[in-house]
Amino acid sequence: EVHRMEIFDVDATNGFLDSKWYHLYCSVQRCNSALKVLNAATDEQVKERSSRIAEMKVLRAHYYFELSRLFNKIPYFDENVEIQDYPNIKNDEFDRNEILSKLAKEMTDAAQVLPATQPEVGRIHKYIALAYAAKIKLYQAYQQDPTTHAVTSINKDLLREVVSLCDQVSASGRYSL
């Protein structure tokens, strides 16, 4: 199966693809479950609640980005959709550009809430969200034919946004290109 993927001879019988799809959607669902709990809690009940919500949204956007990148047409849902309604969600409700726009917005919105540094190693902070938003917008800037996936145009406005986001990350003094 791996050899077939390497030579781009892939079909629905490849178990690795099914496993990847399954595990990414399990991760999305875990983020949605955590968001439901966090949204229902109060700031007194959960320390740094708004930051934890933003962290979950960054993780969820990461998993959706992987799904979009690998599978293109994906069902998209958030924490407000009940689990029993998942089977009714179509995989073509949103096109690639709409999905990537949602994910980039989720990253930039999270960056507005997240602190510049976190007290615990490994926690998501503002600059991780900004850098990931830049990556998503970079993919989005290269617009593709929905059938062949060939690049049909390059959106220069989105590329400027990528540069702006990267400049914000570089200006933090923590990272450089």
Q: Which tens digit of pLDDT belongs to each residue from 29-68?
A: 999 999 999 999 999 999 999 999 999 999 999 999 999 9
Q: How far, rounded to the nearest angstrom, does the alpha carbon of residue 99 sit from its chain's CA centroid?
A: 9
* pLDDT over 80 at 12, yes or no: no
Closest alpha carbon to 51 in 106, 105, 124? 124
Q: What is the pLDDT of residues 63-114, one digit of tens each?
A: 999 999 988 899 999 999 998 998 999 999 999 999 999 999 999 999 999 9
pTM of the model: 0.92
Helix (H, G, I), strand (E, B) or coil at 154: strand
Q: How far, rounded to the nearest angstrom, does the alpha carbon of residue 56 sit from its chain's CA centroid?
A: 11
Alpha helix segments (H runs only) across the chain: 2-6, 15-40, 49-71, 96-113, 126-141, 156-171
Q: How far apart are CA 26 and CA 30, in angstroms?
A: 6
Q: Which helix (DSSP H) or strand (DSSP E) does residue 85 occupy? A: none
